[in-house]
Amino acid sequence: MPSKFMKPMLWIGLLVVVSIVLYLTFWLIGIDVITIGQLERGLSRRASRVVAMIVVAITMGMTGLFFQTLTQNRILTPSVIGFDSTFVLSQTLIVFLFGSSSLFISNPYYNFVISTTVMVLSSLLLYGFVLKKGKNNLALLLLVGLVFRTLMGSLTSFLSRIIDPDDFLVVTSRSMASLSNMNTDILWYLALPIMIVVIFLMSRDTKSFDVMNLGEDQAKSLGVSYYKLMNRNLVYIAILISVSTALVGPLMFLGLITVNLARELIKTDYHKPLLWMSSMLGVVFLVLGQLVLTTLNLNTSLAVLINLIGGLYMISILVKGDKKA
Specify the range with the lowest mean pLDDT, choosing from 137-146, 156-165, 230-239: 137-146
d(CA 278, CA 264): 11
Q: Where are the alpha helices (DSSP H) in the chain?
A: 3-25, 36-71, 83-98, 103-106, 108-122, 129-131, 138-162, 165-175, 192-203, 206-212, 216-221, 226-248, 254-266, 271-283, 289-295, 302-324
Residue 282 lies in a domain: yes
* Comparison of pLDDT for 225 and 1, the residue scoring more: 225
Residue 254 lies in a domain: yes
Q: Give the CA dihedral 294, 298, 301, 302, nearest 10 degrees.
A: -60
Residue 26 lies in a domain: no
Which residue from 191, 180, 172 is spatially nearest to 291, judged by alpha carbons?
180
Tell me the pLDDT tens digit for each residue of 207-232.
999 999 888 888 989 889 888 898 88
Total of domains in the chain? 1
Mean pLDDT over each residue of the chain, to the nearest integer = 85
d(CA 257, CA 282): 8
Residue 34 lies in a domain: no
Burial of residue 91 (CB within 10 Å: 0-12, 13-18, 19+) is: buried
Average confidence (pLDDT) over 49-74: 91
What CATH number did the domain enclosing 261 receive?
Answer: 1.10.3470.10
Structural domain that includes position 137 = 57-324
> Could you give the C-alpha distances from 12 to 7, 19, 66, 285, 306, in angstroms and in order?
9, 10, 21, 11, 19
d(CA 148, CA 155): 11
Residue 267 lies in a domain: yes
Specify the range with the lowest mean pLDDT, choosing from 77-86, 124-133, 213-222, 250-259: 124-133
Give me the phi and psi of 239, to 5 degrees please: -65, -45
d(CA 55, CA 312): 25
CB of 262 within 8 A of CB of 278?
yes
DSSP string, 81-106: TTHHHHHHHHHHHHHHHH-TTSHHHH
Residue 116 lies in a domain: yes
Residue 108 lies in a domain: yes
Global confidence as pTM: 0.89
Residue 46 lies in a domain: no
Q: Which residues contact 38 (CB under 8 A, 6 or more apart)?
A: none
